[in-house]
Structure 1
Amino acid sequence: MTATIKDIAKKVGVSPSTVSRALNGNSRISDITTKKIQEAMEELDYHPNSLARNFANGLTYCIGLIIDARDENTFANAFFNRSVFAIEKVIQEYGYSLIITNDRKKGAKSTVENLMLEKKVDGLIMPSSVMRPELIKELNQAGFPFIVMGEPKKYKSEATWIDVDNELGSHMAVEHLIQQGYTRIALVTEKPNTVFSQKRLAGYLACLKQHAIPINQEFILEYGQDITADNKRIEELALSSGHPDAFLCGNNIIAFNVLKTLKNRNYRIPDDIGIVTFDNYPVAEYTDPPMTAVDVDTYGMGIQVAKELIRKIQDNSNDRNHMYIPTNLIVRESSMKGDRENNDKNGGAS
């Protein structure tokens, strides 16, 4: 005979309504009770009727993730993929499935608008890069739950968004370099018009100002338009009078090229020039010397994005929250001049 919710409730020692709420992913049901219910379901070979459950509570148990289908590099971005993996992991725990879509226009309405109007998803997640004012307005007017992944450049007060704290990460990196004895710190960044680059610049400038270190505009460089020319500029800057004694780099590719350029000119890292990079992936810990890195937790961001959206769905909430995920500094040899100098003064490390 097929098991029912009442059979599960009797075995676990809870009410049928508690079992029903657990099956619906209600966050108010404790993890311990949820686990017991899941074990009982497995033991009794119980399979919930998803169609009936969805019809009863008006939910699809699907979440839409909007991507930019025109950008062929979307899924080549390891950091975006880590966020998506975290989102998928969390929503599965709550009984949801992930639908990947794009905001392409099909007639009068876009694909995303049709998903919302036809109630094919219960909520939406979108990177800040695909935000459209018309879509944001329509979502808010409909009271439809959505989360923006990454701090948007515009319409910040019109949406709930979650991002990594790039300003804090930059401040931490510069503070570390200053504590290690570096005072002429260059910032080499990519895509200067993006919010994350602007935040990193703000953290860099704030820390220098805090320590009364003069700001040299020649030490603030954009990288990525022409790598050969960019490497040449790094080389020329490193050979100039009063050259930087440290570089804070926007990613591992920039940092690797800066490291290679400096070593080609026989600079010793970290004794002559220190290097810190944003991101601990893909090469920071494998270079020679291993590079100090600002660890950008995109996996943690994905977890928070998923949990916040599910909360909004379950609570039928239209609140608009803004959240930063803290960064972490992983200190390695590329920036440890101060420690090496102390060891030398003390006759070497013990």
Structure 2
Amino acid sequence: MKITMKDIAKLSGTSQSTVSRVLNNDKRISKETFDKVKKVVDEVQFKPNVSAQKLVSGKTKTIGLVINVNNQEEFSNVFITRSIFAIEKRIQEQGYDLLLLNYDEKNREQFKELIFQNKVDGVILPSSLLSEQILLMLTESKTEFVLMGEPDINNSSITWADIDNLKSSEKAISFLSKYNLDNYLMIIEDKEKKFNRNRIKGFEEFSKKNKLSYKIIEEKKQGLEEIIINNCLNTSTGIIAGNNFIAQKIIKILNSNKIKIGNNIKLITFDNYPLAEYLIPPVTAIDIDTINLGTTVASYLLEKIETGTKNNYNAYISSSLILRESTGD
């Protein structure tokens, strides 16, 4: 015999609406009532009709993650894939599904349909994708949203979380400066990206304050091999690489020129994942906690959806330093 919500209500001495609220984790239900209904649900191994629950609650129990898969550099980035994993894990704990939506100018109407027809309860999107146009659509549709990354748009009504790139950069250069090296290099892929601008700021401010000799290099625009040789041959140099792949290139150049890493040349990379510990030598890393980032943005959005709060949050996720042979540790 199939058990229904009406049966659960009768067995627990409550109403069907109360049972529905318990099944939807409604915070208005007292702990005593919640526990009483939950006990009956567990005893009879009741499996609620998900479609019916959605109809009653007015919620889709779906969160949209909006990305631009045409931006292969961003979508293939380990940073975003690990964060997606954390987002999905967090929302599934609360009974939500994740809907991945590709956004570009060609399918703008699909995005509008998603939010204006209430096909999701809220959306998460990378700050790099946020434009005034998208912000206007989200506002007009009254869609709850949270950004993954600090936005360039200055708007206090936007909730976001990001890695504390400025402090992470300070942490790296502060550690290297203890060795009293002759030169300090920061080698990144793109100066215009928000997270790199913050990293540059932390590196530059610390270097100026402590009167260090430093350079900031865009890996794609300048001759990397020539710069590495000129700054690492017959001198002591601390290098901060923007990611594991840049660190890998630096190691290759140093090895091919028989310049030893770990003594006079010390190397730190942003991100511990995916290569830092497997490179030769293993590379000291600023461990960027992308799992925590994904969990944080998902938690912020869930709170907005489930409580209706109009509060907005901004958070910087701290990083840690993992010491390895590339700095002589």
TM-score category (smaller protein): 0.7 to 0.9
What SS does the aligned partner of 2:282 have?
coil
Instruction: Give the match for residue 197 of structure 2.
Output: 198
Superposed CA offset, 1:308-340 (max 9, x none): 10100112233332111111111112113xx6x
Superposed CA offset, 1:243-264 (max 9, x none): 5511011011111211222233
**Which moved further from structure 2: 154-163 or 287-296?**
154-163
Superposed CA offset, 1:63-90 (max 9, x none): 1111113224454222211111111111
Instruction: Give the match for residue 23 of structure 1.
Output: 23
Are 1:260 and 2:252 an aligned pair? yes
Query: Structure 1's 30 and 283: CA in aligned 2 closer, same or farther, altered over 3 A?
Result: farther
What SS does the aligned partner of 2:273 have?
coil
Structure 1 unaligned segments of length 5 or more: list them. Answer: 340-350
Instruction: Give the match for residue 223 of structure 1.
Output: 219
Instruction: Give the match for residue 131 of structure 1.
Output: 130
What SS does the aligned partner of 2:156 have?
helix
Equivalent pair of 1:284/1:293 in contact (CA under 8 Å): yes
Instruction: Give the match for residue 346 of structure 1.
Output: none
Structure 2 length-normalised TM: 0.87
What SS does the aligned partner of 1:193 have?
coil
Please list, as runs of the form range in 1=range in 2, the aligned pairs for 1:131-280 lying within 5 A after superposition.
Answer: 131-182=130-181, 184-210=183-209, 212-216=210-214, 219-225=215-221, 229-239=223-233, 243=235, 245-280=237-272
Corresponding letter in the other structure for 1:68: N
Corresponding letter in the other structure for 1:231: E
Equivalent pair of 1:125/1:146 in contact (CA under 8 Å): yes
Superposed CA offset, 1:161-197 (max 9, x none): 1111111111111111122443521111111100111
Instruction: Give the match for residue 320 of structure 2.
Output: 328
Corresponding letter in the other structure for 2:48: P
2-side partners of 1:230 and 1:99: how far apart? Answer: 41
**Which moved further from structure 2: 137-146 or 126-135?**
137-146
Equivalent pair of 2:272/2:286 in contact (CA under 8 Å): yes
2-side partners of 1:232 and 1:29: how far apart? Answer: 67
Query: Structure 1's 73 and 207: CA in aligned 2 closer, same or farther, altered over 3 A?
Result: closer
Equivalent pair of 1:67/1:101 in contact (CA under 8 Å): yes
Instruction: Give the match for residue 292 of structure 2.
Output: 300
1-side partners of 2:30 and 2:201: how far apart? Answer: 42
Equivalent pair of 1:145/1:318 in contact (CA under 8 Å): no
Structure 1 length-normalised TM: 0.82
1:20 shift after superposition: 3.9
2-side partners of 1:85 and 1:209: how far apart? Answer: 39
1:4 shift after superposition: 4.0
Query: Structure 1's 23 and 322: CA in aligned 2 closer, same or farther, altered over 3 A?
Result: same
Query: Structure 1's 78 and 28: CA in aligned 2 closer, same or farther, altered over 3 A?
Result: farther
What SS does the aligned partner of 2:197 have?
helix
Query: Structure 1's 38 and 278: CA in aligned 2 closer, same or farther, altered over 3 A?
Result: farther
Equivalent pair of 2:84/2:294 in contact (CA under 8 Å): yes
C-alpha RMSD of the superposition? 3.1
Q: Percent identity?
A: 37
Query: Structure 1's 326 and 19: CA in aligned 2 closer, same or farther, altered over 3 A?
Result: farther
2-side partners of 1:177 and 1:36: how far apart? Answer: 59
Please list, as runs of the form range in 1=range in 2, the aligned pairs for 1:48-197 lying within 5 A after superposition.
Answer: 48-104=48-104, 110-182=109-181, 184-197=183-196
Structure 2 unaligned segments of length 5 or more: list them. Answer: none
Query: Structure 1's 230 and 66: CA in aligned 2 closer, same or farther, altered over 3 A?
Result: same
Equivalent pair of 1:67/1:74 in contact (CA under 8 Å): no
Corresponding letter in the other structure for 2:128: S
Equivalent pair of 1:60/1:121 in contact (CA under 8 Å): yes
Superposed CA offset, 1:240-285 (max 9, x none): x7x5511011011111211222233332221111000001122211
Query: Structure 1's 35 and 270: CA in aligned 2 closer, same or farther, altered over 3 A?
Result: farther
